[in-house]
Amino acid sequence: MSELQSEFLFEIDFQVTPPEPLGVTPLGDRRIVTVTSGSFEGPKLKGTVVPNSGGDWLLLRNDGVLQLDVRVTLKTDDDALIYMAYRGVRDAAPEVAARLARGEDVDATEYYFRTTPYFETSSEKYAWLNRIITVAKGDRRASGPCYRVFQIL
């Protein structure tokens, strides 16, 4: 059996609000973040994040792992709308997690940050997105998260 292969799809940057604490629930410390804007660009598509079109329902689990549940709407430069949803995890040593929580820029090699984006669109031009699996490598910057998204071939 061969190893998985991938192809770069696009890079996306999000600007987000500060987390709104929901509090400690039976599952962990729940926080909600609004995605206010952003942009994406790659070889096959580019555009912007529809302002205030989504959010991230973060859960800081009891084991220290940050679990993401994100939904957002993208708009391509030729006006197609694409729904993007993903789940993922960010895991870091406690001292690195504290720096990230303070909003500091931390080199992405110091923590594990991966997501699994899925797409939904009615656009014929971008219908191929409805039929693929992708994986993204994240980087948490002071302004918000950034991802490099790869199609699994």
Name the residue range of residue 86's domain.
6-152
Would residue 96 count as lying in a domain?
yes
36 occurs within a structural domain: yes
Its pTM stands at 0.93
The 8-class DSSP code of residue 130 comes to: G
Is the residue at 20 inside a domain?
yes
Asked if residue 139 is part of any domain, the answer here is: yes
Here the CATH number for the domain that contains residue 16 is 2.40.160.20
Helices of type H across the chain: 94-101
Whether the Cβ atoms of residue 134 and residue 128 lie closer than 8 Å to each other = no
Residue 27's pLDDT is 93
Q: Is residue 34 part of a domain?
A: yes
32, 56 in Cβ contact below 8 A? yes
Bridge-partner residues for 139, per DSSP? 146
Task: Give the pLDDT score at 103.
Answer: 83
Residues of the chain with pLDDT under 70: none
Number of domain units in the chain: 1
Tell me if 122 is assigned to some domain. yes
Is 54:71 a contact under the CB 8 Å cutoff? Answer: yes
Residue 123 is given by DSSP the state -
pLDDT value of position 13: 97
Q: Which two tokens stand for residue 67?
A: 């679990």
Whether residue 27 lies inside any domain: the answer is yes
Rounded-to-integer distance, Cα 91 and Cα 94, Å:
9
Is 1 part of any domain?
no
